[in-house]
Chain A
């Protein structure tokens, strides 16, 4: 929705005149006035960004980072294992899955970090519940409704002036963002913010959103949010749409979604946390080909995204983190698939992440009573480190205070 010059002038005039309005003055107006490069979101200490990438369904960590130097791996997976000669070797023990050459290059260029053995005590093997545990950042014994980022927004970003503090790419908002005052925009596609009908339509929408002198606080809230809609609409249709990217992205959803995120970051949309999801990892049967395809998509997409941000000059302020609700059972099942497991690996790139291995790999000779890996790093300590070392927040106010940040993953 392109806005006419006259209505923009009108808009700014109203913005200047009405104090009630200026409380919710769209950030892009402020930014276009100040014309700052990488301006931090008003009310936040810096211009840093977190991009969370969910691998939904439970990614098979053992076939992602393959322990090819361990006989136990081949014993447990007579059909599903990646042959030693196919593994893209990192060291004498492990290497990437054969289709992950793009991420291997990222690794070789010192742009990737791997956190091994990540999980939590008393693991839950339900997708639903384990996803909830990861999204809320709670222990498995507790039901918490708010998400770990939602609590971060509530406790640390109360002064941030932007309706797009969080951006969820996808059809529904992840529980990660749930909080008392969520300021999250969920969109699958920026077309959501296109309103057909030309300037007459824009004008009438603007008219019914002029804040009214009313004691009805709900109406005032809706009018403010309606103005956010109009400002996000302008932002997406102008700056983001025209923003060039520098890398090829695969034509598929996940990749194209990451491309949109790269454009939003480069266009300096005032957003602190993005959330993108790659679904389909739940391979109980005939896993080999489908998992290889997903790993290729993950590898190529992340690599394009990271290198694009680097070229665009935004990688230093963007931390990318992947997670999945659980790994898979060590032993393959009867259907050439794997069942729900426990500990897993996380990827990190960009920002101040330290390239290389972190944490301790889970021991294949010491499995739990179901045949699953024991975790060596609590995912909440990774969260605590992200909160403290990347977002400059106090993790004790957001996560269980007994959880200490994982050392060494972020510089």
Chain B
């Protein structure tokens, strides 16, 4: 790619490469057609168009298994027999596992195909910001509803989002708000509300947390009003999972502490609405959010000017998110060398952008989920309440090695090596004989000629999800409708231009040309892609 395009970008602040940078950061990768379209606009016009599209697009149709209203079918009654419970419990867990797998498929496919990827990028932001894990929540429907709410408010109003998240079913389960009642207010949610969701450490006291927990006490999850419920008594000893009727938040007045509270120096008989108001109006809120957004989108601005300006817009608009993003994406600082080409792609961005940029014919499968989980980002299962810290924490020698195997999936639709553990899975429970000779016979029968030593690949136990582990088709013709270039330089340049957000380093370009020269026929494209996708450069956006 011509070097002068970089200079052009630096001089005028807007160019094809600048448009590419904007597209890649706000979506999942870029395509050259879109890049050209945005490049002819001004920076402000381009940003406005992206923001408007993301705000106005209709929401996708939910997965088939989503139910409205949702009623807990795993509810356990005092007269439920052990057998009945065991059968139902196992079946429900199996269903939840299938549904959460399907939810991941549904969302990633949305990311891959959405004409408004910015909305999905923002949904992904909130997914990590208001982290909740299926590991604790357990109910797939609750995770879907949280995701839908985050998408609905993705570029909307933070005040509304914060309130919706506070009484979101999955969040109430995840951070124990449903267990909080006036005699023993649970502080877990109140603490994270201030520390992780809205203000950041150091902007509140333990007394503020305690008082906010009181104000938020009494919310429980229940079936939607009007739902017919069986009149069977529950066993009070059973845990919440088996006794809650639904996942709709309801204020149970008897459990709520209606007394006077003092939060951030203000006193009143506060409840949910007041806690949200006080939090969003806290002077630290706008800047906290601005810094987190700026970091997610890869702004490098040590002066903090852009973040300050975003915080001001947050205050003046009463918590609107889109205007904050407008400040960020139109700022000069967002386009400097220091901000460009140095954000490490998250595993989800790596996968989705690869699918988009190589125009892969694929769907999200359990194998891809396993790959993303191994790279450190399994959707609906963030590592903890802080979400994914991102940046350099995505990369270790292990995850980078795995990233370098990306082409196994992309070009060959096969599992990268080393993803299954050493040794065999245990099948049905068997106890091995104690006597060594008996044991040897027993194992030989069981293992049937299994070899010892390295590379012993275990046949995996049947997984809950059916279908192929990987389903990826790569067609070079899609990238080169006019035919694959004969010249190694052209081939390398075109692929580099399609895959990297910046002009390639000379070393990378030279090595890519060598890879093309070393091979013949369609293998030339594969060889160059194998190199680019396993380069440090490709990990950046």
**A residues bordering B, Cβ < 8 Å?**
99, 101, 125-129, 132, 141, 143, 145, 163-164, 168-173, 175, 178, 182-197, 200-201, 204-205, 207-210, 212, 214-219, 221-223, 225-226, 228-229, 232-233, 241, 250-257, 259-260, 284-285, 289-290, 292-293, 296-297, 300, 334-335
Contact = CB atoms under 8 A, between A and B. Distances in A.
A169 B421 CA distance: 8
A254 B458 CA distance: 12
A400 to B, nearest CB: 16
B423 A228 contact: no
Given A164-B397, A225-B395, A252 B426 contact: yes
A255 B422 CA distance: 9
A182 B383 CA distance: 14
Given A129-B136, A223-B536, A225-B400, A189 B419 contact: yes
Contacts of B385: 143, 145
A83 to B, nearest CB: 16
A289 B404 contact: no
Given A145-B383, A208-B507, 10 more contacts: A127-B135, A128-B136, A191-B417, A191-B455, A192-B418, A209-B536, A226-B404, A228-B400, A252-B423, A260-B422
A356 B135 CA distance: 36
Contacts of A292: 429, 431
A233 B373 contact: no
A208 B536 contact: yes
Most buried by A among B344, B416, B531: B531
Contacts of B337: 215
Contact of B376 (A172, A210, A221): A172
Nearest to B514: A204
20 contacts: A127-B135, A143-B188, A143-B384, A145-B386, A145-B389, A168-B398, A182-B393, A182-B396, A184-B398, A185-B396, A190-B418, A205-B404, A219-B341, A219-B540, A222-B537, A241-B454, A251-B456, A252-B424, A252-B426, A259-B422
A205 B401 CA distance: 11
B420 A210 contact: no
A229 B403 CA distance: 11
A257 B395 contact: no
A136 to B, nearest CB: 8
A85 to B, nearest CB: 16
Given A186-B374, A251-B423, A253-B422, A193 B401 contact: yes
B537 A219 contact: yes
A216 B341 contact: yes
Contacts of A163: 396-397
A207 B82 contact: no
Given A187-B418, A212-B507, A229 B423 contact: no
B312 to A, nearest CB: 29
A99 B432 CA distance: 9
Contacts of A222: 344, 395, 400, 536-537, 539-540
B193 to A, nearest CB: 12
B515 A225 contact: no
Interface string B376-413: 10100001111001001101111111101100000000
A188 B397 contact: no
B359 interface: no
B534 interface: yes
A197 B376 CA distance: 26
A254 to B, nearest CB: 7
Contacts of A210: 507
B342 interface: yes
Contacts of B343: 218
Contacts of B376: 172-173
B536 A255 contact: no
A172 B378 CA distance: 10
Q: How large is the interface on B (under 10, 10 to 19, 20 to 34, 35 or more residues)?
A: 35 or more
Contacts of B187: 141
Contacts of B82: 285, 334-335
Most buried by B among A187, A207, A233: A187
Nearest to A291: B429
Among all A-B residue pairs, the 6 with the closest Cβ atoms: A256-B423, A192-B418, A222-B536, A191-B418, A256-B422, A218-B342
B192 interface: yes
Nearest to B387: A145
B248 to A, nearest CB: 22
Contacts of B232: none
Contacts of A226: 400, 404, 536
A206 to B, nearest CB: 10
Nearest to B187: A141
A99 B429 CA distance: 13
Interface in B474-523: 505, 507-508, 511, 514-515, 518
Contacts of B398: 168, 184-187, 192
Contact of B191 (A143, A190, A209): A143
A101 B439 CA distance: 14
A200 B518 contact: yes
Contacts of A178: 383-384
B145 to A, nearest CB: 19
Contact of B395 (A132, A221, A251): A221
B383 A175 contact: yes
B429 A221 contact: no
Interface string B46-61: 0000000000000000
B253 to A, nearest CB: 27
Contacts of A204: 511, 514-515, 531
Contact of A192 (B417, B425, B514): B417
Nearest to A284: B89
B397 A189 contact: no
Contact of A335 (B86, B395, B455, B515): B86
B401 A218 contact: no
B450 interface: yes
Contacts of B85: 335
A204 B82 CA distance: 62
A225 B535 CA distance: 11
A372 B401 CA distance: 45
B418 A296 contact: no
Given A229-B397, A292-B431, A128 B133 contact: yes
B266 interface: no
